Chain A
Amino acid sequence: MNTTMRARWYVYAYCLYLLVPLYWLVNMSLRTRGDITAGLEVVPLNPTLGNFAEIFTNPVWFTALGNSLSYVVINTIISILVAVPAAYVFSRYRFLGDRQLFFWLLTNRMAPPAVFLLPFFQLYSAIGLFDTPLAVALAHCLFTVPLAVWILEGFISNVPVEIDEMARIDGHSFVFFFFRLFLPMIRGGIGVTVFFCFMFSWVELLLARTLTGSAAKPIAVVMTRTISASGIDWGVLAAAGVLTVLPGLVVVWFVRRHLVKGFAMGRV
């Protein structure tokens, strides 16, 4: 069992590697601007919450956070709504062009957002959605919808077809079956899908930045602008960084039991 222990130590070493930069982020967020430039302190000697206070008292950060959350939520809702029926159909039926369609969806998950950058700006300006959270939400559908279909298809395929047939024999209508029997059965899968849609929309910056002006600016962009505005205030920047890490941490804690199952579908 010696080798097992050694492998375990690799994991601990890697976790340390994960934690040290994060620790440094927290460390920086607890120190003032002058304190940071004055010298290195492995443990903050005069920790302060001033940086966080600055963020919470400044409305720019608040609205930006609201903007980010609103497009992430809109995106997640749209993705789930359209992906559930599609995933059901992909899992249960064969139809003309199904494999080609699936492949085409997949290419959109893989395509670099930069490729779509040029026309997206024009497209959303033309239909009057530029600088709204809806524009970013729709743009992010480019990769979250294929992802959602992919994950859900795996979960739905794990539900035996016999269930569908049994419901039909019992005389239930398809609508009743789908909403009252079937959807509760894939609840876990929908949860995992929500998690991944949320995650990929939350971490994306390029499209979110390009499709917003001043009104719908997401929080990630506000962060990059703080750099250029008044020199670099590393403390506030780090504090904002800590705050953007937190939502992810909360979400991942809630889905931790389903996480491995979601990855087990092998489709993230």
Chain B
Amino acid sequence: MQANTNKAWLGVLPVVLLVAFSAVIPLMTVVNYSVQDIFDVQTRVFVGFDWYRETLRDPRFVDALLRQILFSSLILVIEIPLGIVLARGLPREGRLLPLLLVLLAVPLLIPWNVVGMIWQIFARPDIGLLGAAVNAAGFDYNFTGVVTDAWVTLIAMDVWHWTSLVTLLTFAGLTAIPGACYQAAMLDDASRWQVFWYVEFPRIRSVLVIAVLLRLMDSLMIYTEPFVLTGGGPGNATTFLSQYLTSMAVGQFDVGPAAAFSVLYFLVILLLCWLFYTSVMGSSKGPDPYDEDGL
């Protein structure tokens, strides 16, 4: 049981102050900016909700949002099942295991712009192995010029970059399953699919929810890799929310619209975050989160 005391607030106070400094003050500022037309600190005009109206009706914003949804769904559909398959294929012990785990973790530790750079030099038709190979195989492939090629390359890159995260999470969940559960399934002569569905899946469900949550949230904020790889092109075909926002905020310095955009973007994240938080707490702690000690 956990002791109930409000003195505990002392322990979390440093975190609260630090995160308030780096999150609350900036968020309030963004809201302030979003209702004004700002030329400089002295010269600013209150415009009410005009920037919100403009942003919500801006076809480029809507397009970027739709592209973002398409991209995030595609990578979830590929990475989650692939990650599970790989995690189940990993040996549970042995000398090979640490090596495989380290190899899987490597893409996660490469700076994101370097990930973009690696794929750029890998996929370019002139100097890249992949680009040259695909063209030699008779396909006309050019990820900087053709929309589908750009998308395929981006998704291949994201799969390369992030599937390991799903694999490692799932693998950690699988290793926590007691061997007795598998033995029981063996006695019943269960097929591999049945083992997964009846033995493994219920026990790794909460870890999978977290994997989906992390991949969804991180894909919603993707910026650096497409920025380096395709620069958002061809045209705007691979411009996602963060990149559109950054080009508005830093490139054109449209403070007001960029701020309104930021607020809307943040609201979407907040909603998704809350939905997942409620479902994670619900699924891992039983139907009623309040029955349990702990969060």
Contact = CB atoms under 8 A, between A and B. Distances in A.
Q: Do chains A and B touch in the complex (CB under 8 A)?
A: yes
Interface of A: 3-4, 7-11, 14-15, 17-22, 24-25, 27-28, 36-37, 40, 42, 78, 81-83, 85-86, 88-96, 98-99, 101-120, 122-123, 138-139, 141-142, 145-146, 149, 153, 157, 161, 199, 202-206, 210, 220, 223-224, 234, 237-238, 241, 244-245, 247-249, 251-253, 256-257, 259-268
5 contacts: A14-B163, A112-B241, A112-B245, A117-B249, A263-B171
Contact of A266 (B15, B207, B274): B207
Given A3-B192, A263-B168, A112 B2 contact: no
A110 B217 contact: yes
B6 to A, nearest CB: 5
Interface in B19-41: 19, 21-23, 25-27, 29-30, 33
A141 B295 contact: no
Nearest to A99: B295
B8 A89 contact: yes
Contact of A260 (B106, B175, B274): B175
Contacts of A123: 25-26, 29
A14 B169 contact: no
A138 to B, nearest CB: 6
- Interface of chain B: mostly helix, strand, loop or mixed: helix
A106 B277 contact: yes
Contacts of A220: 111, 113-114
Nearest to A261: B172
Contact of A205 (B29, B118, B173, B224): B224
A141 B26 CA distance: 14
A234 B245 CA distance: 29
A111 B269 contact: yes
Given A118-B249, A119-B26, A202-B109, A95 B6 contact: yes
Contacts of B3: 92-94
Interface stretch (B51-59, B69-77, B85-93, B141-149): B85-93
7 tightest Cβ-Cβ pairs between the two chains A and B = A248-B109, A89-B11, A112-B221, A7-B89, A264-B172, A119-B29, A93-B8
A224 B103 CA distance: 26
What interface size band does chain B fall in? 35 or more
A114 B262 contact: yes
Contacts of B62: none
Contacts of B88: 7
Interface in B99-158: 100-114, 117-119, 121-122, 126-130, 132
Nearest to A267: B210
